[in-house]
Chains A and B, each alone.
Chain A
């Protein structure tokens, strides 16, 4: 079993720039802010007749998806294309026994095709880290979700969405609601929110879906929506990860909806200008009421749009970090 250790030794180059993007954990506020600033410039690109920049022209990006995905895959593909890269999408389903071997072989094959970047989605925690530690030095690896561990680009598109709506993180109380236990999104969100300085991060969910010792991540834990949502500015709903539940953690979906589903009634517990987010795909009537999902306080579609800009930012920064490292491995920053 591969145990990821000190991600920054591998995801940063010798100048402290991003060269892989594996996790939000341990990255500095400056670097996270740089990702958000760069993404902001890409959002403004929408004003152009030709919505492309030549940053990754002539580079090959391989979307290596070992796990099904629609929005993450398509926004990564669009992001790479708007950077003028050539894109290859590979959907590889794995059998749980042969993963290690399959992964190695797949990597060797793809490297032989002179790929410049792998965007990896995998059901095993640590998969992207494993790949980053084994690829040839000039290939950048972006984590598009690994098991229960991390989904850093999702967290950063959430941060961008929050910043564009609320401005500063410092005064914000943010609640993450639902299936925290299986959620790589929640972990990445918590690290990012804490680093960016949100005043309070809360998790709300049934005991069976809260990881033990989650308080150690610097969050307040609630099992009740009324108290948990009090004074909250931003509500981040999570999807029930039914495909990852291998025991009876929930009595039923309707029971979950009654207690933790985001409804008009429960939204009233939060601040009057609180916004609601969800990484998608949403389960209407399980995690969220349709009137909320489609309502004026929902940022769900903004999240998708911002996802393209964040992925463009991370891809161009990682590619740049790889190139700088290759060309000036021992120079000081200019």
Chain B
């Protein structure tokens, strides 16, 4: 894949349809949609609208739970996580923009469990870069992409939502 940008609208439509079907299959009618800051929150908002859920979405900032704190330090602009209501016993749909090593999702799961014990967690990601370092798989994937070791993918948004692939500087 060379550098460039991708529109995500088509991917979002497909993800919405698949997520709806999956939730029906699992008999989940009132899930709590939770986005991982920042890109995951944008995707979560769009899927929320698409599926017509009325509850406000939850926002997770996993900075305090990252496993690379000792290497990279604290991110300077940590914002508070906001989970509406009780998560205890809720079915949670956890949403991130890009799934790569799986470490972000691990941190997010750790944080989620500090709010209470959810009934289930369904993982949704816009893009799977298939470079896992942990045994974590998404339930719904917008698309998969193989990028070179010197390329990075970043979602820009919220309007328009666009995936940008560029060379690492």
Q: Which residues of A contact B (CB under 8 A)?
A: 17, 34, 37-38, 40-41, 43-45, 47-50, 52-55, 316-317, 320-321, 323-324, 327
Expressed in whole angstroms, the minimum distance between the Cβ of A319 and any Cβ of chain B is 8
Stretch at the interface among B17-25, B67-75, B123-131, B142-150: B67-75
User: CA A239 – CA B151 in complex, angstroms?
Assistant: 59
Contact B76 A34 (CB under 8 A): yes
User: CA A49 – CA B78 in complex, angstroms?
Assistant: 20
Q: Which residues on the A side are within 8 Å of B83 (C-beta)? A: 47
Task: Return the chain B residue nearest A333 by Cβ.
Answer: B76
User: CA A52 – CA B71 in complex, angstroms?
Assistant: 21
Question: CB of B157 within 8 A of chain A?
Answer: no
User: CA A312 – CA B114 in complex, angstroms?
Assistant: 18
Contact B80 A40 (CB under 8 A): yes
Question: CB of B50 within 8 A of chain A?
Answer: no
Q: Which residues on the B side are within 8 Å of A44 (C-beta)? A: 80-82
User: CA A324 – CA B78 in complex, angstroms?
Assistant: 17
User: CA A93 – CA B78 in complex, angstroms?
Assistant: 39
Residue-wise, chain B 74-108 has the 8 Å CB interface mask toward A (1 for contact) of 10111111110000100000000000000000000
State which of A41, A53, A54 has its C-beta within 8 Å of the C-beta of B79. A41
User: CA A321 – CA B65 in complex, angstroms?
Assistant: 17
Contact B74 A55 (CB under 8 A): yes
Q: Which residues on the A side are within 8 Å of B70 (C-beta)? A: 323
Question: CB of B64 within 8 A of chain A?
Answer: yes
User: CA A325 – CA B83 in complex, angstroms?
Assistant: 34
State which of A40, A50, A54, A327 has its C-beta within 8 Å of the C-beta of B71. A327
User: CA A34 – CA B74 in complex, angstroms?
Assistant: 11
Task: Return the chain A residue nearest B75 by Cβ.
Answer: A320
Number of chain B residues close to chain A: CB under 8 A: 23
Question: CB of B30 within 8 A of chain A?
Answer: no
User: CA A40 – CA B64 in complex, angstroms?
Assistant: 13
User: CA A41 – CA B80 in complex, angstroms?
Assistant: 4
Contact A321 B73 (CB under 8 A): yes
Q: Which residues on the A side are within 8 Å of B116 (C-beta)? A: 49
List 8 contacting pairs A-B, 8 Å CB cutoff, sorted by A.
A44-B82, A47-B115, A49-B88, A49-B116, A55-B74, A323-B69, A324-B72, A324-B73
Can you add 8 more A-B contacts, CB < 8 Å, to A48-B114, A49-B116?
Answer: A17-B73, A38-B74, A41-B61, A44-B81, A50-B115, A55-B69, A316-B74, A320-B73
User: CA A55 – CA B76 in complex, angstroms?
Assistant: 14
Number of residue pairs A-B, CB distance < 8 angstroms: 54
Question: CB of B120 within 8 A of chain A?
Answer: no
Q: From residue 29 to 64 of chain B, which have CB atoms closer than 8 A to chain A? A: 61, 64
Task: Return the chain B residue nearest A17 by Cβ.
Answer: B73
Task: Return the chain B residue nearest A324 by Cβ.
Answer: B73
Q: Which residues on the B side are within 8 Å of A55 (C-beta)? A: 64, 69, 74
What are the 9 A-B residue pairs with the smallest beta carbon separation, nearest first? A320-B73, A44-B80, A53-B64, A320-B74, A50-B114, A324-B73, A41-B80, A48-B114, A41-B78
User: CA A45 – CA B78 in complex, angstroms?
Assistant: 12
Q: Which residues on the A side are within 8 Å of B72 (C-beta)? A: 324
Q: Which residues on the A side are within 8 Å of B79 (C-beta)? A: 37, 41
Given contacts A40-B80, A44-B82, A47-B115, contact A53 B74 (CB under 8 A): no
User: CA A48 – CA B58 in complex, angstroms?
Assistant: 13
Contact A37 B64 (CB under 8 A): no
Task: Return the chain B residue nearest A334 by Cβ.
Answer: B72
Question: CB of B5 within 8 A of chain A?
Answer: no
User: CA A17 – CA B77 in complex, angstroms?
Assistant: 13
Which interface residue of A17, A53, A327 has the most chain B CB atoms within 10 A? A53
User: CA A47 – CA B82 in complex, angstroms?
Assistant: 9
User: CA A316 – CA B64 in complex, angstroms?
Assistant: 9
State which of A37, A48, A49 has its C-beta within 8 Å of the C-beta of B77. A37
Question: CB of B7 within 8 A of chain A?
Answer: no
Contact B65 A54 (CB under 8 A): yes
Expressed in whole angstroms, the minimum distance between the Cβ of B80 and any Cβ of chain A is 4
Q: Which residues on the A side are within 8 Å of B69 (C-beta)? A: 55, 320, 323
